[in-house]
Chain A
């Protein structure tokens, strides 16, 4: 059974803090993704990674960075959290070239920045 886990379900941080969101997948997938989800806006891609040590900017990368040191782990970093980064953050992984092309999602981290 495929599994994507995220380090926290709920997180409360203060403005200016450095925030780490961790994502781990146990499916040996090459591709991993970070999205944020806001009401009425759907899921928007922040960053993605095709493989270890690789990263690509998504549609809304400003204020975020990522790290992919190991294949199973993809970290999202908020260098200096701001209130407009209060959101639900979703991690996903995918095996490229698979017949199903599906992205598997974690349960999400709801981040509140005060």
Chain B
């Protein structure tokens, strides 16, 4: 089936550092989504991208929809301890199904 490759698998960074993670796919998606899952909770949508080349920000988060429509990037600037969690990329199919990446576990050292 379709798969998304998300990297890195985990990151352990110092507070204040910038973070980058990305997702690649062998298939084209028309919508890319980025979710964050905090410990003990379900994933919550951070950013949705609808057009190839689109760059969207949400506070300290910036995500881009790749030109080829087969990849997406998420950047977090000036990380803080509450950024801790698992970040998932997801590609939306026309059926409404989401294909998820494996997740990037982020830990921030104060």
Contacts and interface: CB of A to CB of B under 8 A. Distances in A.
Interface of A: 4, 9, 31, 33, 35, 40-45, 48, 50, 58-59, 90, 92, 94, 96, 100-103, 105-108
Given A42-B101, A100-B48, A108 B31 contact: no
Contact of A105 (B40, B44, B92, B102): B44
A5 to B, nearest CB: 10
A4 B44 CA distance: 12
Given A40-B103, A43-B43, A106-B42, 17 more contacts: A4-B42, A40-B9, A41-B102, A42-B100, A42-B101, A43-B88, A45-B97, A45-B98, A48-B97, A58-B97, A90-B42, A90-B43, A92-B42, A101-B96, A103-B98, A105-B42, A108-B42
B96 A31 contact: yes
Interface in B54-110: 88, 92, 96-98, 100-103
B45 interface: yes
Contact of B96 (A9, A94, A106, A107): A94
B90 to A, nearest CB: 8
A51 to B, nearest CB: 11
A106 B43 CA distance: 8
Interface footprint category on B: 20 to 34
Interface of B: 1, 4, 6, 9, 31, 33, 35, 40-45, 48, 88, 92, 96-98, 100-103
B96 A40 contact: no
Contacts, number: 56
Contacts of A59: 1
Contacts of A9: 40
A94 B33 CA distance: 14
A31 B40 CA distance: 24
A28 to B, nearest CB: 16
A10 to B, nearest CB: 10
A31 B35 CA distance: 19
List 7 tightest A-B contacts by C-beta distance, closest first: A105-B42, A42-B100, A43-B100, A42-B102, A102-B45, A105-B43, A107-B42
Nearest to B43: A105
